[in-house]
Homo-oligomer: A and B are copies of this chain.
Amino acid sequence: MTRTRVGIINVTGYIGVDLARILFRHPQVEVACVTGRSAAGSRLAGVFPHLNAADMVISPELDVPVDVVFSAMPHKASAEACEPLVAEGLRVIDVSADFRLKSRDEYESWYGVQHPCPHLLASAVYGLPEIHRNDIRNARLVANPGCYPTGALLALAPALAAGAVEGDIIIDSKSGVSGAGRSLTLNTHFAECNESVSAYAVEGHRHMPEIRQECRLLSDKVTELLFLPHLIPMSRGILSSCYAKASASWLGGCSRPRAALLDMYREFYKDSPFVRVVDLPPATKHVWGSNYCHVYPTFDERTGRLLVISAIDNLVRGGAGEAVQNMNLMLGFDETCGLEALPVFP
Contact = CB atoms under 8 A, between A and B. Distances in A.
Which label, helix, strand, loop or mixed, suits the secondary structure of the A interface? mixed
Contacts of A307: 202, 226, 228
A274 to B, nearest CB: 8
A228 B242 CA distance: 11
Number of copies: 4
A289 B290 CA distance: 11
Given A188-B191, A189-B188, A49 B286 contact: yes
B194 A234 contact: yes
Contact of A190 (B24, B177, B278, B344): B177
A125 B331 CA distance: 47
A303 B226 CA distance: 7
Nearest to A239: B197
Interface in A266-305: 273, 276, 278, 280-290, 292, 294, 296, 298, 300, 302-303, 305
B237 A197 contact: yes
A231 to B, nearest CB: 8
B184 A50 contact: no
A346 interface: yes
Interface string A157-173: 00000000000101010
Interface in A225-242: 225-226, 228, 230, 232-237, 239, 241
* Top 4 closest pairs, chain A to chain B, by CB: A196-B285, A198-B283, A184-B184, A50-B343
